Chain A
Amino acid sequence: MAIQVLIPTPLQKFTADQSSVELEATSVDGLLEALEGRFPGILARLTDESGKLRRFLNVYVNSEDIRFLDNQATALADGDEVSIVPAVAGG
Chain B
Amino acid sequence: MIAVSTSRFQYPTPQVGFNGSFYPALLACTNSCCRALTATLSRSTFTGLRCKECGHPYEASARHVCEDVCFGPLEVVYDYDAIRNRVSRASIEAGPTSIWRYREFLPIEGDPIDVGTGFTPLLKANRLARRLGLRNLYIKNDGVNMPTLSFKDRVVSVALTRARELGFTTVSCASTGNLANSTAAIAAHAGMECCVFIPSDLEMGKVLGTLIYNPTLMAVKGNYDQVNRLCSEVANTYGWGFVNINLRPYYSEGSKTLGYEVIEQLGWQLPDHIVAPLASGSLFTKIRKGFEEFIKVGLVDEKPVRFSGAQAEGCSPIAQAFAEGRDFITPVKPNTIAKSIAIGNPADGPYAIDLANRTKGTIAAVSDQEIIDGIKLLAETEGVFTETAGGTTIAVLKKLVEQGKIDPGETTVAYITGNGLKTTEAVASSVGEPHTIEPQLASFNAAWERAQSLHRASWEPIGA
Contacts and interface: CB of A to CB of B under 8 A. Distances in A.
Contacts of B53: 56
Nearest to B243: A89
Given A56-B53, A56-B65, A85-B229, A90 B71 contact: no
Interface string A64-89: 01011000000000000001011111
B236 A88 contact: no
The number of chain B residues touching the other chain, given as a range, is 35 or more
Nearest to A55: B328
A89 B244 contact: yes
A68 B64 CA distance: 25
Interface stretch (B30-38, B103-111, B340-348, B358-366): B340-348
A27 interface: no
* Residue with the highest number of chain B CB atoms closer than 10 Å, among A60, A68, A86: A86
A90 B328 contact: no
Given A91-B175, A91-B179, A9 B345 contact: no
B265 interface: no
Given A63-B229, A67-B330, A9 B347 contact: no
Contact of B229 (A10, A54, A58, A91): A58
Nearest to A19: B236
B224 interface: yes
Contact of B224 (A48, A65, A91): A91
Nearest to A10: B67
B236 A56 contact: no
A6 interface: yes
Interface string B331-357: 101000000110101111010000000
Nearest to B53: A56
A12 B179 CA distance: 29
* Residue with the highest number of chain B CB atoms closer than 10 Å, among A48, A86, A90: A90
Contacts of A8: 232, 236
B229 A86 contact: no
B423 interface: no
Contacts of A89: 73, 244-245, 248, 251-252, 280, 282, 347-348
Interface residues of A, number: 27
B112 to A, nearest CB: 21
Contacts of B328: 55
A90 B226 contact: no
Nearest to A13: B67
A83 B229 contact: yes
B347 A19 contact: no
B244 A90 contact: yes
A11 interface: yes
Contacts of A56: 53, 65, 70-73, 347
Contact of A90 (B70, B176, B232, B235): B176
Nearest to B281: A90
B149 interface: no
Nearest to B346: A90
A90 B72 CA distance: 16
Interface in B60-101: 63-65, 67, 69-73
A11 B231 CA distance: 17
Contacts of B71: 10, 45, 54, 56-57, 86-87
Nearest to B232: A85
A67 B329 CA distance: 10
Nearest to B278: A90
A22 B35 CA distance: 50
B330 to A, nearest CB: 6
Interface in A24-77: 45, 48, 54-58, 60, 63, 65, 67-68
A58 B65 CA distance: 13
B301 interface: no
B345 A54 contact: no
Contacts of B347: 56, 87-90
A91 B343 contact: yes
A71 to B, nearest CB: 11
B237 A90 contact: no
A90 to B, nearest CB: 3
30 contacts: A19-B236, A45-B69, A55-B328, A55-B350, A56-B53, A56-B73, A56-B347, A63-B226, A67-B330, A68-B333, A85-B229, A85-B233, A86-B64, A86-B232, A87-B71, A87-B345, A87-B347, A88-B64, A88-B242, A89-B73, A89-B245, A89-B252, A89-B282, A89-B348, A90-B176, A90-B224, A90-B280, A91-B175, A91-B279, A91-B280
Interface of A: 6, 8-12, 19, 45, 48, 54-58, 60, 63, 65, 67-68, 83, 85-91
Closest 5 CB pairs of A and B: A90-B280, A10-B67, A87-B347, A91-B176, A86-B65
